[in-house]
Amino acid sequence: MPYLFTSESVSEGHPDKVADQISDALIDHFLAFDPDSKVACETLVTTGQVVLAGEVKSKAYLDVQEIARSVIRKIGYTKSEYMFEANSCGVLSAIHEQSADINQGVDRQQKEEQGAGDQGMMFGYATNETDDYMPLALDLAHKLLQELAAMRRENKEITYLRPDAKSQVTLEYDDNNQPCRIDAIVISTQHDDFDTEEKMQEAIKNDIINILIPRVKSKYTKFAKLFNDNIKYHINPTGKFVIGGPHGDTGLTGRKIIVDTYGGKGAHGGGAFSGKDPSKVDRSAAYATRHIAKNLVAAGVADEALVQVSYAIGVAQPMGIYVNTFGTAKVNMTNGEIAQKVSEIFDMRPYFIEERLKLRNPIYSETAAYGHMGRQPEVVEKEFRSPEGKVVKKKVELFTWEKLDYVDKVKKAFGIK
């Protein structure tokens, strides 16, 4: 029987994402000046105020206030009427040194025996539903907001947009679990004040349907047919949305973990990513399991794969690896046998995850909005400045966990030609 499935996304100007981006900018700066830094940094943003808190073990000294302000400036909170503005907001730092009790469980004389930074379970997921091996509903929800942000910065076709926005996409699936129709699209976008609420609603609905949607549709050759005249649109359904961002709603690091991952498909272990260095397996092992799941599906082991790994704090070897192919396996093996093969191909000790995915580099700011998964790997050069005037330039590879660099190894291990 056909069914509906929904995923949501939030823009870079959403208060929780503002917090995520500040936390990850701090991670990048610490790692740029000291790759061995251990950092767990949380951010709170509200009307005219940013609060930084967390634990750090690093040789680097940073101007955390200026880092926070530069992130806010880049997002677009640059006007006083937003009630949260990069140059005038207060920035309070309550960052202190990491607990020695935690650190002794992570650092080892032999780097290979580095312990997990915390206990817990992490999940990675992939499906061949889209070219980037992501669930389509979430992919669409992200693309809607990425295009909306691009249009806000262009300030040509739509000139009243403010940084805060949310999207939601509901798809209908057929009996073969294939997406066959977009049932509903929800867009809520912050905007400048209008003369009347009627003018505002008419203008925004018209611009979203006639300008934004065609731009997004053009990016989906394979799924263009899903965009039809029967889609139910809910555009700013509450009406006026002038008050937004951290002034409209307090934001915290780590409150959008489903947006960050798979939009409700697969599973989630509960641990957030942003603000954590890669010794925290909440982050690094979630990337590693995505890498595994994507390479399994791309190699033809299954059409869909969920991979779980679990750890004990201070212990290098994972407690276990679990794989679920949801009955889509193309190899004559049980899920347990597939999991055993996975453990032979991929070393899931924290140190080897860091090395394999090059995670001790300043690569995290780019992950903090529009999803950590399904992104395009690329090499970029980044520049960082310390308060003392020291400049570090680094060429780094982003989204290494999205690479299909293990497909041949997986095919060989599973006997796939």
CA nearest 123: which of 372, 338, 311, 308? 308
Check whether 255 is labelled as a binding-site residue. Answer: yes
Check if the beta carbon of residue 165 is closer than 8 Å to that of residue 188: yes
Provide the token pair at 410.
Answer: 């997986």
What are residue 50's DSSP bridge partners?
A: 45, 91
What are residue 116's DSSP bridge partners?
A: 313
Check whether 164 is labelled as a binding-site residue. Answer: yes
Check whether 86 is labelled as a binding-site residue. Answer: no
Check whether 417 is labelled as a binding-site residue. Answer: no
Check whether 165 is labelled as a binding-site residue. Answer: yes
Question: How many Å apart are CA 119 and CA 141, to the nearest integer?
Answer: 32
Check whether 272 is labelled as a binding-site residue. Answer: yes
Check whether 312 is labelled as a binding-site residue. Answer: no
Check whether 280 is labelled as a binding-site residue. Answer: yes
The letter for the amino acid at 353 is: I
The sign of the torsion formed by the CA atoms of 263, 265, 271, 275 equals negative
Check whether 55 is labelled as a binding-site residue. Answer: yes
**Burial call 225-241: b when 16+ CB within 10 Å, e when fewer:** ebbeeebeeebbeeeeb
Contacts of 235 (CB under 8 A, 6+ apart): 186, 187, 188, 201, 204, 205, 208, 209
Q: Is 307 helix (H, G, I), strand (E, B) or coil?
A: strand
Check whether 381 is labelled as a binding-site residue. Answer: no
Check whether 16 is labelled as a binding-site residue. Answer: yes
Rg for the chain, CA atoms, rounded:
22
Q: Is 216 helix (H, G, I), strand (E, B) or coil?
A: helix
Check whether 249 is labelled as a binding-site residue. Answer: yes
Check if the beta carbon of residue 72 is closer than 8 Å to that of residue 18: yes
End-to-end CA distance of the chain: 35
CA atoms within 13 A on the CB side of 32: 25
Check whether 14 is labelled as a binding-site residue. Answer: yes
Provide the token pair at 377.
Answer: 């790997």
Q: Give Cα separations from 161 to 84, 237, 417 (angstroms).
A: 16, 16, 51
Check whether 98 is labelled as a binding-site residue. Answer: yes
Annotated binding site for ATP: 14, 164-166, 240-241, 249, 255-256, 272, 276
Annotated binding site for Mg(2+): 16
Annotated binding site: 14, 16, 42, 55, 98, 164-166, 240-241, 249, 255-256, 272, 276, 280
Annotated binding site for K(+): 42
